Amino acid sequence: MNAHTISRAELAKRASVNPRTIIRHEKELRLTRVPCGGRKVVYQYSGTEEALIRRIKAPYRRGGAMRRSLVPDPVFVRRKITSTCGPQPEIVMDGCMLTLSKLLWVSLRISYDDPIQVNATRHQRLVGAKYSKQIMKYLIEAGFMEHVANHISGKRCRSYRLRSACYNELAKVRLFWPEVPELEKEELSLAEMLVDAAIPFEAAVLERLKSDSCEFLFPKDLDIDTIANEHAHLKLQLFIRHPRRKRRKKAATRTLSSMSPIEKQEAVRVHAFESCKEAYHAYIRNPLGFFRPSSNCHRIYHSISGMPRRLRFELQCRGEFTSTLDIHCCQPFLLGLLLEERREEFLIDREELLRFIDLTQNQDFYTVLGEEFSPHTPRDELKRIIFRDLLFGHKRSCHMDVFKVFSRLFPSIGMALGMLHRSPEHSLARELQRREARIIYGYVLPALQAAFPAQPITTIHDAILLPSSIAAEAQELMAREVKKATGKGQRIKKEGQGHKQSTHMC
């Protein structure tokens, strides 16, 4: 097998990890230092660069991307947490297992008496930011570990220690962290990913989706600088209106607090410009560089679905323009159907619920609510606020202005939303996304693939991207399938490069 060389800095950049991570795992990654003089460190390795990067990322993959089946699931851990802290959602239990396995993995390399530092940011990436603190609290209450020391800025992270009884029990059942999992050395098939994520969709439908996605390409004469500038302008306008939200979002803007207002805006503009160009070049190199089903929301994530909207608008299919078919007000519409099923449980007024569903079907829900909440705010920004503070809210959503306006228009539905947001066992956002995925991947996509066997079709969560030549016929078919899946008709919006926006309702 041929040997290759690469510098430590370049390897860390390509694997998107801190160089110290590579230093700690040199032996496990089978890296050999090559003398080159100076401060630069060069490694020699065998095999392909892709395989090496996969081995580096294996211990640091996020919970949603990592195969949870690789981590054993001792029954006594679940029983102890349930008996002590009460019934917990599956995602919290999975987070407890991953956290314990990570702590044990570190303890096996040091003495379990020594404190283990847990970086909050890495732990949030592992188990999810929403449940990170909750998981650590439950593990302490259940007696699996104890808190040793608090965080000190610039010196250390929070420190924990596994209890001796817990350490012995976990070591017996071999609850381990998959350092370089054997099953991850080979590429998983899509069918295996669906089984591992417990997603009930047909593998054949998604296999065609995966191959069809490669047919959507950018024109050779695309002026990427102009497109990236337009994308950067949109991001800059959002930052000017919401500077604090943007400050925490991107790695390139984490130092904004030390900049002047002009420097902040320039940093955001440059970062948005570069990220758009990077997404373009990454897609040019490999259209299928990313394709993964999510076990949490049952969505299918791939390179097109994660692409900036302004850039995605330029995609063409076999030399012709593309069109997007979108379910009108999808999330509010599905929320109305969910509340209709549980109307008696939440004591929702029937007339009020019918008025809400009619609003999501026959009018623009975001615009109507925006006229009451903030008439001069653009629709895209209104939509973002409504999703954040109303539909996908949190325990304190009821204190947000948009929630108060909505509750004034729909009092009983507002109370029901507050109860759903405060429920620790259910996630309204995940439930709505799963219903959306069932419609798209269980009804719409199979019907479109059967009706147009020779035409490429791909998805963008609740939307369909396809050639403009079949858009009109596909729009009618999609409306019929949505009605079949939900029992109610809903408008399908069509927009694209070759025509103005239009709607169709079955």
Q: What is the pLDDT of residues 413-463, one digit of tens each?
A: 989 988 888 876 677 888 899 999 999 999 999 999 999 999 999 999 889
Check whether 23 has a pLDDT greater than 50.
yes
Mention every residue, 6+ apart, whose C-beta is less than 8 A from residue 50.
none
- Quick: pLDDT tens for 137-158: 999 999 888 988 888 876 778 8
What confidence category does residue 355 fall into, taking pLDDT thresholds of 50, 70 and 90?
Answer: very high
Residue type, 121: T
Q: Which residue has the higher pLDDT, 172 or 80?
A: 80
CA distance 69 to 98: 11
- Residue 251 is predicted with a pLDDT of 39
Mean pLDDT of 363-370: 86
CA distances from 492 to 383, 449, 452, 469, 478 (A): 18, 18, 18, 17, 7
Q: Which residue has the higher pLDDT, 289 or 365?
A: 365
Determine what percent of the chain is predicted with pLDDT higher than 70. Answer: 84
Mean pLDDT of 51-63: 62
CA distance 446 to 51: 34
Residue 306: both structure tokens together: 């994660």
Mean pLDDT of 4-14: 84
- For 265, phi then psi, to 5°, come to -65, -40
The strand pairing partners of 292, in sequence order, are: 301
What confidence category does residue 474 fall into, taking pLDDT thresholds of 50, 70 and 90?
Answer: very high
- For 262, phi then psi, to 5°, come to -65, -40
Query: Is the distance from CB of 316 to CB of 219 less than 8 angstroms?
Result: yes
What confidence category does residue 243 fall into, taking pLDDT thresholds of 50, 70 and 90?
Answer: very low
Residue 258: both structure tokens together: 């030390």
Mean pLDDT of 95-110: 80
Residue of 475, 472, 478 whose CA lies nearest to 498:
472
The residue written with tokens 């950018």 in the block is: 218
CA distance 469 to 476: 14
The residue written with tokens 């001069």 in the block is: 376
What confidence category does residue 72 fall into, taking pLDDT thresholds of 50, 70 and 90?
Answer: low
Q: Which residue has the higher pLDDT, 382 or 323?
A: 323
Q: Which residue has the higher pLDDT, 379 or 394?
A: 379
Q: Which residue has the higher pLDDT, 337 or 176?
A: 337
Range with lowest mean pLDDT among 269-278, 379-388, 492-501 = 492-501
Dihedral angle sign, alpha carbons of residues 133, 134, 138, 139: negative
Mention every residue, 6+ apart, whose C-beta is less than 8 A from residue 171.
104, 108
Q: Which residue has the higher pLDDT, 54 or 7?
A: 7
Range with lowest mean pLDDT among 156-165, 244-253, 443-452, 490-499 = 244-253
Check whether 362 has a pLDDT greater than 80.
yes
Check whether 259 has a pLDDT greater than 80.
no
CA distance 385 to 368: 14
Check whether 313 has a pLDDT greater than 80.
yes
Check whether 378 has a pLDDT greater than 60.
yes
Q: Which residue has the higher pLDDT, 326 or 397?
A: 326
Mean pLDDT of 204-224: 91
Check whether 161 has a pLDDT greater than 80.
yes
Q: Is 118 left (phi over 0), alpha (psi -120 to 50) or beta?
A: beta
What confidence category does residue 170 fall into, taking pLDDT thresholds of 50, 70 and 90?
Answer: confident
CATH 1.10.10 for the 68-172 domain, yes or no? yes
Determine what percent of the chain is predicted with pLDDT higher than 90. Answer: 22
- Residue 169 is predicted with a pLDDT of 81
